[in-house]
Structure 1
Amino acid sequence: MKKTAQTSAKSLLVNGWEALKKQQIKHAISLSQQLNQQYPNHSEGWYYTAQVAMIINNKAAAEQGLKNACKLAPTNISLKMILANFCLSNSDFKKAKTLALELDGLLLKAAEHNQLALLFSKLNLVDQAISHYQHAISLDSENHEHYYSLATVLRFAGDLALAEQHLDKAVTLQPLDIDAHVLKVDLRKQTFENNNIDNLSELLAKDLAIKDRVQVYFALAKSYEDLADYQQSFVYLEQGNKLRRKHINYQVQTDKNIMSDIRQIFSPLWWRNHKGHGLSAIKASSTITPIFVLGMPRTGSTLTDRLLSANDNVFSAGELSDFEQQLTAQVNQYRSPRDHSKKSFISAASQVDFRQLGQDYLSSVTAHFGEAVVGDKTTYFIDKLPFNYLYVGLIKAALPQAKIVHVIRNPMDTCYAVYKTLFQQAYPFSYQQQELAAYFISYQKLMQHWAQLADLDIHQLSYEELVGDPKETGKKLYQFCGLEWHDRYIDVTSQQGMVNTASASQVRQEIHQGSLKKWQHYRQQLAPLKAQLEKAGIVCD
Structure 2
Amino acid sequence: MTPDWLRNKSPDCCVAPALASVSPRKRPLENELEQANKLLLHDASNHHCLMHKCSVLVRSGKYCEALAIYDQAGLGDSPIAQLRYGHTLKIVGRLDDAVAAYRRAIDLQPDTGEAYWSLANLKTYRFSDAEIRAIRTRINCSRGNAENQSYLGFALGKALEDRGDYEESFRFYKRGNSIRRMQQPFSAERNRLNTGRQIRICTREFFAQSAGAGCAAPDPIFIVGLPRAGSTLLEQILASHSQVDGTTELPNIINLSAELGAKRRKSYAGLYPEILSQLSTEKRLQLGRRYIASTGLKRNGSPFFIDKMPNNFLHIGLIHLILPNARIIDMRRHPMAACFAGYKQLFARGQTFSYDLKSSGHYYRNYVRLMDHWDDVLPGRVLRVQYEDLVADAEHQIRRVLDYCGLAFEQQCLRFYETERAVLTPSAVQVRQPLFSHGLEHWRHYEQHLDVLKRALGSLLLRYPIAAP
TM-score for both structures, normalised by structure 2: 0.88
Tell me what 1:452 maps to: 376
Q: Note if contact 1:291-1:404 (Cα within 8 Å) is conserved in structure 2.
A: yes
Determine the C-alpha separation between the residues in 1 that align with 2:117 and 2:255.
32
2:46 equivalent to 1:109: yes
Q: Counterpart of 2:272 in structure 1: which amino acid? A: F
Q: Note if contact 2:29-2:56 (Cα within 8 Å) is conserved in structure 1.
A: no
Whose helix proportion is higher, 1 or 2?
A: 1
SS state at 1:523 partner: helix
Determine the C-alpha separation between the residues in 2 that align with 1:407 and 1:338.
32
Q: Note if contact 1:263-1:446 (Cα within 8 Å) is conserved in structure 2.
A: yes
Q: Note if contact 1:133-1:149 (Cα within 8 Å) is conserved in structure 2.
A: no
Tell me what 2:366 maps to: 442
Q: Counterpart of 2:224 in structure 1: which amino acid? A: L
Deviation at 1:454, TM superposition (A): 3.6
Determine the C-alpha separation between the residues in 2 that align with 1:404 and 1:539.
22
Question: Which one of 64, 85, 95 corresponds to residue 150 of structure 1?
Answer: 85
Change (3 A) 1:193 1:85: closer
Determine the C-alpha separation between the residues in 2 that align with 1:532 and 1:93.
42
How well do the aligned residues superpose, as a CA RMSD in angstroms?
2.7
Q: Note if contact 1:277-1:355 (Cα within 8 Å) is conserved in structure 2.
A: yes
SS state at 1:406 partner: strand
Determine the C-alpha separation between the residues in 2 that align with 1:339 and 1:126.
35
Q: Deviations over 1:60-114 (max 9, x none)?
A: xxxxxxxxxxxxxxx975577679975x635x45544555566677613112211
Deviation at 1:423, TM superposition (A): 1.5
Tell me what 2:278 maps to: 351
Question: What does 1:506-525 align with in structure 2 at a 5 Å threshold?
Answer: 506-525=430-449
SS state at 1:341 partner: coil
Tell me what 2:161 maps to: 225
Determine the C-alpha separation between the residues in 1 that align with 2:154 and 2:135.
10
Q: Unaligned regions of 5+ residues in structure 1, if any?
A: 1-20, 22-50, 52-74
Tell me what 2:10 maps to: none
Tell me what 2:309 maps to: 385
TM-score for both structures, normalised by structure 1: 0.77
Q: Note if contact 1:84-1:96 (Cα within 8 Å) is conserved in structure 2.
A: no
Determine the C-alpha separation between the residues in 1 that align with 2:417 and 2:443.
26
Determine the C-alpha separation between the residues in 2 that align with 1:261 and 1:165.
49
Q: Note if contact 2:250-2:307 (Cα within 8 Å) is conserved in structure 1.
A: yes
Greater alpha carbon shift after TM alignment, 483-492 vs 445-454: 483-492
Q: Note if contact 2:114-2:152 (Cα within 8 Å) is conserved in structure 1.
A: no
Change (3 A) 1:446 1:188: closer
SS state at 2:273 partner: helix
Q: Counterpart of 1:295 in structure 2: which amino acid? A: G
Change (3 A) 1:266 1:259: same
Deviation at 1:245, TM superposition (A): 1.9
Structure ID, larger Rg: 1
2:464 equivalent to 1:539: yes
Q: Note if contact 1:296-1:387 (Cα within 8 Å) is conserved in structure 2.
A: yes
Deviation at 1:249, TM superposition (A): 3.3
Change (3 A) 1:195 1:189: farther
Tell me what 1:360 maps to: 290
Question: Which one of 460, 468, 473 corresponds to residue 392 of structure 2?
Answer: 468
Deviation at 1:340, TM superposition (A): 7.2
Calculate percent identity across the aligned residue pairs.
Answer: 25
SS state at 1:404 partner: strand
Change (3 A) 1:454 1:131: closer
SS state at 1:124 partner: coil
Deviation at 1:195, TM superposition (A): 7.6
Deviation at 1:408, TM superposition (A): 0.5
Question: Which one of 422, 426, 433 corresponds to residue 346 of structure 2?
Answer: 422
Question: Which one of 181, 203, 220 corresponds to residue 245 of structure 1?
Answer: 181
Q: Note if contact 2:260-2:272 (Cα within 8 Å) is conserved in structure 1.
A: no
Q: Counterpart of 2:387 in structure 1: which amino acid? A: Y
Aligned length: 450
Q: Counterpart of 2:327 in structure 1: which amino acid? A: K
Tell me what 1:477 maps to: 401
2:70 equivalent to 1:133: yes
SS state at 2:426 partner: coil
Change (3 A) 1:95 1:411: same
Q: Note if contact 2:120-2:126 (Cα within 8 Å) is conserved in structure 1.
A: no
Q: Deviations over 1:380-409 (max 9, x none)?
A: 010000010011121011111100010001
Tell me what 2:207 maps to: 271
Deviation at 1:160, TM superposition (A): 0.7
